[in-house]
Structure 1
Amino acid sequence: MGISSAKEVNQQIEAFEAKGEKAKVLEIGYKTYANLVADDKFADKLIESNQNTKQKYYKKIKIRLVTEKHYFEVKG
């Protein structure tokens, strides 16, 4: 099923940044996002943009929702 907790998200971000790149975007499938929002640790770190209420950030990393159900990728 893939990523389902804030701990797993953090591990993916750390693995990406260990390669020497800065994480700028989290691409998340809509069902994966729904599962993550149910995790209090993930939901507590979500920030809504002041300019665009549809735009969300996790630990200052932009979240981009995609139409695939179970998808997760960190991009630089």
Structure 2
Amino acid sequence: MSVVNVNKLNNIFSELLAKNKKPEKILIGYKAYAELISDRSFFEEVVGSAMDPSKRKYKNIKIKVTQDDSQLEVRYSD
């Protein structure tokens, strides 16, 4: 199983932006979300983004927690 961390997520964003693609939604597996939320900076930004857990965001990009254990995917537009 791959290790999920905030640096990996930020690297995905950097790669997409370098290709002129705009991130629209982050799909995170529930176990990966648990790993990410243990990072203090991720926790503060996500928890502070909305009172309703289903509307939380990271870097102004909506987060969707999925049932796929370790999924980490960023959907984007061209």
Q: What is the TM-score of this pair, normalised by structure 1?
A: 0.84
Tell me how far 1:7 sits from its aligned partner: 1.4
What runs of 5+ residues in structure 2 fail to find an aligned partner? Answer: none
What runs of 5+ residues in structure 1 fail to find an aligned partner? Answer: none
Instruction: Give SS of 1:65's match.
Output: strand
1:5 is aligned to 5
CA RMSD of aligned residues (A): 1.5
Larger helix share, 1 or 2: 2
Aligned length in residues: 74
Q: Does 1:48 align with 2:53?
A: no
Distance 2:7 2:56 in 1: 19
Instruction: Give SS of 1:4's match.
Output: coil
Tell me how far 1:3 sits from its aligned partner: 4.8
Structure 1 runs, 4 residues or longer, greater than 6 Å off: none
